[in-house]
A and B are shown apart, each in its own frame.
Chain A
Amino acid sequence: MSSSPPAGPRVGLFVTCLVDLFRPSVGFAAVKLMEDAGCTVEVPAAQTCCGQPAFNSGDRKDAREIAEQVIRAFEPYDYVVAPSGSCAGMLKRHYPELFQDDPQAHERAENFAGKVHELVSFLTDVLNVTSVDAAFRGSVTYHDSCSGLRELGVKDQPRKLLKTVDGLEIKEMRDPDVCCGFGGTFCVKYPDISNKIVSEKTNTIRETGAGTLLAGDLGCLMNMAGKLKREGSAIEVRHVAEVLAGMTDAPAIGEKGKG
């Protein structure tokens, strides 16, 4: 573990709605990783979702109101961190866009955006974490989620840290940067097309022979896990934070609990 920065920063964890509802263990993994790196982590209660469902459905008004709510709740923190490239991208890249017609609100959103980070890149790029204290037996393949990759430049950071996990082997898939077909509401609005895209994805995942699939976004993970399980695959699916935090006791995504 690298040395933590002086006077540990105060971080507001933006849990994301999917982690909050479906996989709290990812949230606790995120807390552990940041606390290990010397941060004080708090979780404002006044958070629900980043507002993407409204924003991407053309409902700017609700998206704005949700954005105002998030900005208000997280303004007191030194940093705002989300275990998702997609939600962090919304907060960082799109919130300022929502207030373009109001100079004061826009400036506030810009200042807020400057403090927002995706979890893994926050660890490496801001806290200068170079290794993690975790072990994992087996091979993994890592999918680059679209928003994290193209809106926030998250690509090498998770791989760098994964390489320091004891016992872990990375087996890269073909085209890890190609979309998994989730796309938020896209996957239920155009299920046939989404299915075609995720089927291509699971093909490339299986080709690697890796035992576990990792990514940094729960939406993509639930989509790929759901498809792999439907196909009868034994490949386990987890959020990258679980492995980096050494918290892999919980059943993998879509797997039943022990006992």
Chain B
Amino acid sequence: MEIKSPTFKNNSAEALKDVNLQKALGKVRTGFIEKRAQAADALPEFEDLRDRARDIKDHVLDHLDLYLERYTEKVEAAGGHVHWAETAEDARNQIMEICRRLNARTVTKGKSMITEEIGLNEFFEQNGVTPVETDLGEYIIQLRGEHPSHIIAPAVHVTKDQVEEDFRRAHTQFDPKRNLDEPTTLLGEARAVLRQKYFDADVGITGANFLIAETGTSIIVTNEGNGDLTQTLPKAHIVVASIEKIVPTLEDVSQILRVLARSATGQDMSVYTTFSTGPKRDDDPDGPGEYHVILLDNGRSSMLGSDYQDMLRCIRCGACMNHCPVYHAVGGHAYGWVYPGPMGAVLTPSLIGVDQSGHLPNASTFCGRCEAVCPMRIPLPKMMRHWREREFERNLNSATARYGLGVWAYFAKRPSLYQFMTGLGMRTLGLLGRTKGRFKGLPLAGGWTKYRDLPAPEGKTFQQQWAERQKAKRKEAA
């Protein structure tokens, strides 16, 4: 996937002007937030569960090698195959090798952010394989030639009217005069189109929400059941998952599942929670003939032991972006790569470099709402700040910003000089602003006054007035 994070400012300016996008984003601002709050409030032990979920993942990350080994043994004991992929390219090649061996022409896909990360669809198309997205949201954006703008609601940036337009354009086999006013009609039409694709597919690819070390099982959670059809009907099921998806036991995963759907959509549980262990056994009525797991690192092992290790606890619920005022304003595409919102602002620099994605950890007000709702208690603002530190160390921020900060810090560290200078400055500004009480524009304050007035200072600083008051008091006493 092309990296557009360096042009975040332009991307967001475009996003702010996009009428359809702004209309679609209205849903995020209300729906997700209310539902999560209700679900969290309805479960008295929700906060304790968050602690436990965090502790489970922290334990895994401290013993990741051990659990990955155990997981691999269990997958192989169940007749599956584990392929270790250090890079996105390794993963693509391993997947392609399996597809070639099975002579695959069509591949169905369950919703998976990790296959976005490795650019799998483009790679398939370049190699003569047709990928078919089966999640409704993913299917819609595939028709539109777009990428997901949200990690659990990939088409959240699209309005219903736009979907109707896309379906009329793509589904020419149906009566052009058919009624597509209702969301359920759109869903029915997508289902009818997709049904045959499941049977046509030679290989089914899914991601994984969790990998269980104890049993060698992969888990996906979905609401449409498309994942089940994707993985059981074809000749082979390929699971693509990053290494930090490991959880020790079934008991552990059931704890984390209790916070996942509540944080994501406000459901107690997703409609489907599907456990897959190995290929079809002799006495199974159905299932894939082959079961493969691509275990992707792609930079994650270098996050272990770093300032960013906590990010590997993320279970991709999307609560951080659902609650983010910046995401609400510009949507997911503005972030310019696979992962948007606060989690993307931390993860993207880890995966593609902060020199490519420096805007992301900077474009935050540090309002802290993301951390407040993160089921895994990931300190997202703190880690964004750590990225700003890396940028500052490497001189990556603009010369003007560094200069301004340097001048300010020089004075801030010299209180007497600071008070003398600010005393003069505020008196002048106070006099200038006296008649109106505010400024419509001021030199060097364009970033502020482009959209809002600047309230004028009252005149004398507090320190000046306080000093005068103390002096008068002393006089009185004398």
Contact = CB atoms under 8 A, between A and B. Distances in A.
Q: Which secondary structure characterizes the binding site on chain A?
A: helix
Most chain B C-beta atoms within 10 Å of own C-beta, residue among A25, A27, A151, A190:
A190
B401 A190 contact: no
Given A227-B452, A254-B455, 15 more contacts: A19-B462, A22-B458, A25-B458, A28-B465, A43-B466, A48-B418, A58-B387, A179-B367, A186-B363, A193-B329, A226-B448, A254-B438, A254-B453, A255-B437, A257-B434
B397 interface: yes
18 contacts: A20-B422, A22-B457, A23-B455, A24-B461, A24-B465, A28-B465, A46-B415, A48-B413, A53-B405, A57-B388, A58-B385, A60-B389, A200-B325, A225-B453, A229-B438, A251-B437, A255-B437, A255-B438
B157 to A, nearest CB: 15
A66 to B, nearest CB: 6
Interface of A: 15, 19-25, 27-28, 43, 45-49, 51, 53-60, 62, 65-66, 69, 97, 146-147, 150-151, 177-179, 181-184, 186-198, 200, 222-223, 225-227, 229-230, 250-251, 253-257
Contacts of B177: none
A182 B438 CA distance: 18
A1 to B, nearest CB: 23
B40 to A, nearest CB: 15
A48 B401 CA distance: 20
B392 interface: yes
B413 A253 contact: no
B179 interface: no
A197 B455 contact: no
A101 B397 CA distance: 25
A60 B382 CA distance: 13
Q: Which secondary structure characterizes the binding site on chain B?
A: helix
B456 interface: yes
Interface in B367-406: 367-369, 371-372, 382, 385, 387-393, 397, 401, 405
Contact of A226 (B372, B392, B454): B454
B401 A197 contact: no
B435 A192 contact: no
Interface residues of B, number: 66
A191 B451 contact: yes
A51 B415 CA distance: 13
Contact of B12 (A193, A198, A227, A257): A193
Interface of B: 9, 12-13, 16, 325-326, 328-330, 362-369, 371-372, 382, 385, 387-393, 397, 401, 405, 408-409, 411-413, 415-416, 418-419, 422, 425-426, 434-438, 447-448, 450-458, 460-463, 465-467
Contacts of A25: 458
Given A65-B413, A229-B438, A257-B437, A59 B405 contact: yes
A69 B457 contact: no
Given A57-B401, A150-B372, A191-B450, A27 B438 contact: no
A188 B368 contact: no
B452 A49 contact: no
Nearest to A197: B325
Nearest to B416: A45
Contacts of A257: 434, 437
Contacts of A254: 437-438, 453, 455-456
